[in-house]
């Protein structure tokens, strides 16, 4: 019999399942993947759910149980199995993966405000790419300066908004089926068994990352595994309940979208506006006008605004607090008089602005939205690989890593499942680099491919440079890696290089590739020249 601690506060397994459900899937995720795969996504959801999501969640349960004294976070799992440096690098990649996510959240907030005020998708026709990026950046700056004052209330609002979105999603499914029962018709015609079977080709492989991006996040509930009364029996129950709810929402939700949208001829802006189109169509079917649309838009705006504020604060604080002092520069850990990590916020804003600037020269606002969303489908699954890597390590030495909850008692079988999930996620990450939603080998396709690589190299590569900056700080009497004029020179060169590359990239890219490469090489060399010499060194 398991002994319960008398003063410990426990949570029930249904509550844990609901907590995980809110982090795993949302209505937007249905629309994103519906455009990528049509109604064939129904089969994909079912396959992913039973062969990927369930084992993924159960692995997270064991990892959270093994490292329960360290909070059960992804960084602590890697640090505990592979040492301090990989722990730091995991924290960095997890943070870097959040950059496209917060930019996407800010973009979605702009789109949501457009629907809330206009009641239609007219914003994309009125707003240029430059203004789209500008207003996204303004939102960033506003939330950076205000989130600390309203953090607690915004956390509550994000929770309420998230629950409201899920409630509306379930309502959408139920009202769709009620409408069919009352004589409604399915827009996707012809509708046969072949309609829900995806085409397993190269395009399909490029869309796997977005499926994983929609369904990952289970590691966020890992710290709560040890708060169950009976982890061995309660956690599997919670995951079964999670699987049932997710299956209902993804399968029937995707079918419901096929009721209102012809899966053979989908709107090009379905990823950006699909959720709003869906509630607008549902309201029209029930003769409610735009009431349901405005209810959804209002809930989405409140949810996105609160989520953005919480993310900006949480991701920055996580970066500077959950990484080893040996690798994180002190300049990024510097706080102001009220304890805010000012330079950390500046780095977040700078990299977010950089990511936004890469998409400015895409043909339209819709292309920017789609590209940024698909970038999440590359980086987010890549970071999820760390979860399976950590699980494989603990099962390779299961005697050392004991836990109350164990996923599959046989180590060889558990390792096989762990390797399966790792390989699938790695394949999805690699093929996700190939652009979606644009014509293969077109100029836009090549441009998106290039900026995908640039984004990955910058976001991940910077994490490898920071330990070098830290070592320079340690060797300096002043504690600064570079002098003020060196910092000024480095930042100026980086800014000018980005501007030059963006200018050439936005005008006849195919004819300017050599110029872009040349400017980039010159910029890298100038950065090295500015930062090469070390000043104020300590005496040995």
Cis preceding linkage at 190, omega within 30: yes
Residue 233 forms part of a structural domain:
yes
524 and 410 in a common domain:
no
Residue 287 token pair: 């003769």
239 lies in the same domain as 120: yes
Q: Residues 237, 333: one domain? A: yes
pTM of the model: 0.87
In a domain, 6, yes or no: no
In a domain, 5, yes or no: no
Query: Residue 517's domain spans which residues?
Result: 475-539
Tokens of 199: 């085409």
Question: Is the separation of the CB atoms in 60 and 68 below 8 Å?
Answer: no
CATH number at residue 51: 1.20.1740.10
Whether 129 contacts 361, CB under 8 Å:
yes
Q: Within this chain, do residues 166 and 210 fall inside the same structural domain, yes or no?
A: yes
Query: In angstroms, rounded to a whole number, what is the distance separating the alpha carbons of residues 339 and 361?
Result: 38
**Structure confidence at residue 1 (pLDDT):** 43
Residue 122 lies in a domain: yes
Residue 4 lies in a domain: no
The total number of structural domains in the chain stands at: 2
Looking at the fold, whether 434 and 299 belong to one and the same domain comes out as yes
> Is 336 found in the same domain as 322?
yes
- Domain for residue 1, yes or no? no
From first to last of its 540 residues, what are the pLDDT tens digits of the chain? 445 555 567 778 887 777 777 666 778 889 999 999 999 999 999 999 889 988 988 898 888 888 877 654 788 888 888 888 888 888 888 888 888 988 888 899 999 999 999 999 888 888 888 788 888 888 877 877 776 666 566 667 767 777 788 888 889 999 999 999 988 899 999 999 999 999 888 889 999 999 998 888 767 666 677 777 877 778 788 878 888 888 888 999 999 999 999 999 999 999 999 999 999 999 999 999 999 999 999 988 888 887 787 777 766 666 666 555 678 888 887 777 766 777 777 888 888 888 888 888 888 889 999 999 999 999 999 999 999 999 999 999 989 998 888 888 999 999 999 999 999 999 999 999 999 889 988 888 988 998 899 899 999 989 889 889 888 988 888 888 889 899 899 989 988 888 887 777 665 656 677 888 888 899 999 999 999 998 888 775
Token output for 497: 């290089």
Instruction: Write down which residue in 448, 474, 500 finishes a domain.
Output: 474
Spatial separation of the C-alpha atoms in residues 403 and 400, rounded to whole Å:
10
In a shared domain, residues 209 and 297:
yes
- Helix-, strand-, coil-residue percentages of the chain, each rounded to 5: 75, 0, 25
321: CB partners within 8 A, 6+ apart: none
Angle subtended by helix axes 74-82 and 54-66, to nearest 10? 70
Among residues 474, 496, 526, which one ends one of the domains?
474
Domain edge (last residue) among 454, 474, 494: 474
Q: How many CA atoms lie within 13 A of 215 on its CB side?
A: 27
Distance from the Cα of residue 462 to its chain's centroid = 19
Residues 412 and 431 placed together within one structural domain of the fold: yes
Structure tokens at 61: 């349960």
| Same domain, residue pair 486 and 458 | no
Q: How far apart are CA 349 and CA 245, in angstroms?
A: 36
Mark whether 324 and 219 lie in a shared domain.
Answer: yes
Tokens of 244: 């049932």
* Domain shared by 395 and 489, yes or no: no
- Is residue 20 one of the residues assigned to a domain? yes
Q: 486 and 384: one domain?
A: no
**First-residue to last-residue Cα distance in the chain:** 60
Helices 270-285, 291-321: inter-axial angle, 10-degree rounding: 150
The CA distance from 404 to 82, in Å, is 22
């Amino acid at each position: 019999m398991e002994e319960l601690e008398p003063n410990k506060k426990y949570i029930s397994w249904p509550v844990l399942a609901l907590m995980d459900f809110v982090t795993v899937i949302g209505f937007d995720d249905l629309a994103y993947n519906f455009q990528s795969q049509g109604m064939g996504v129904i089969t994909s959801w079912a396959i992913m759910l039973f062969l990927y999501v369930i084992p993924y969640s159960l692995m997270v349960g064991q990892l959270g149980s093994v490292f329960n004294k360290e909070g059960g976070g992804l960084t602590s799992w890697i640090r505990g199995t592979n040492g301090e440096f990989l722990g730091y690098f995991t924290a960095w990649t997890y943070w870097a993966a959040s950059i496209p996510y917060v930019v996407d959240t800010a973009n979605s907030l702009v789109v949501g405000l457009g629907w809330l005020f206009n009641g239609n998708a007219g914003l994309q026709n009125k707003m240029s790419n430059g203004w789209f990026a500008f207003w996204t950046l303004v939102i960033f700056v506003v939330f950076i300066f205000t989130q600390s004052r309203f953090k607690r209330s915004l956390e509550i609002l994000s929770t309420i908004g998230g629950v409201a979105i899920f409630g509306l999603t379930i309502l959408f499914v139920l009202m769709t089926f009620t409408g069919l029962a009352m004589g409604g018709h399915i827009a996707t015609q012809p509708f046969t068994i072949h309609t829900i079977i995806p085409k397993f080709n190269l395009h399909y492989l490029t869309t796997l990352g977005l499926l994983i991006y929609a369904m990952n996040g289970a590691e966020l509930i890992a710290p709560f595994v040890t708060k169950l009364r009976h982890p061995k029996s309660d956690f599997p129950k919670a995951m079964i309940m999670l699987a049932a709810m997710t299956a209902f929402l993804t399968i029937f939700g995707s079918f419901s979208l096929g009721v209102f949208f012809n899966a053979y001829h989908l709107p090009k802006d379905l990823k950006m506006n699909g959720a709003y189109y869906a509630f607008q169509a549902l309201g029209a079917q029930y003769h409610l006008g735009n009431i349901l649309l405005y209810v959804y838009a209002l809930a989405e705006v409140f949810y996105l605004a609160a989520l953005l504020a919480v993310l900006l604060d949480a991701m920055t604080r996580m970066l500077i607090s959950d990484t080893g002092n040996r690798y994180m520069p002190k300049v990024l850990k510097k706080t102001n008089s009220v304890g805010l990590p000012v330079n950390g916020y500046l780095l977040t804003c700078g990299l977010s602005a950089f990511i936004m600037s890469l998409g400015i020269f895409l043909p339209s606002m819709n292309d920017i939205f789609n590209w940024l969303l698909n970038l999440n489908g590359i980086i987010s699954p890549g970071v999820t690989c760390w979860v399976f890597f950590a699980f494989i390590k603990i099962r390779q030495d299961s005697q050392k890593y004991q836990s109350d909850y164990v996923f599959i008692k046989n180590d060889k079988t558990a390792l096989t499942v762990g390797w399966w999930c790792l390989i699938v996620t790695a394949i999805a990450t690699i093929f996700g680099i190939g652009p979606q939603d644009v014509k293969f080998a077109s100029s836009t396709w090549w441009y998106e491919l290039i900026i995908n690589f640039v984004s990955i190299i910058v976001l991940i590569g910077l994490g490898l440079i920071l330990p070098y900056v830290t070592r320079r700080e340690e060797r300096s009497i002043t504690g600064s890696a570079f002098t003020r004029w060196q910092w000024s020179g480095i930042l100026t060169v980086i800014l000018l290089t980005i501007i030059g590359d963006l200018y050439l990239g936005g005008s006849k890219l195919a004819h300017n590739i050599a110029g872009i490469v040349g400017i980039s090489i010159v910029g890298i060399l100038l950065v090295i020249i500015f930062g090469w010499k070390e000043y104020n060194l300590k005496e040995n």
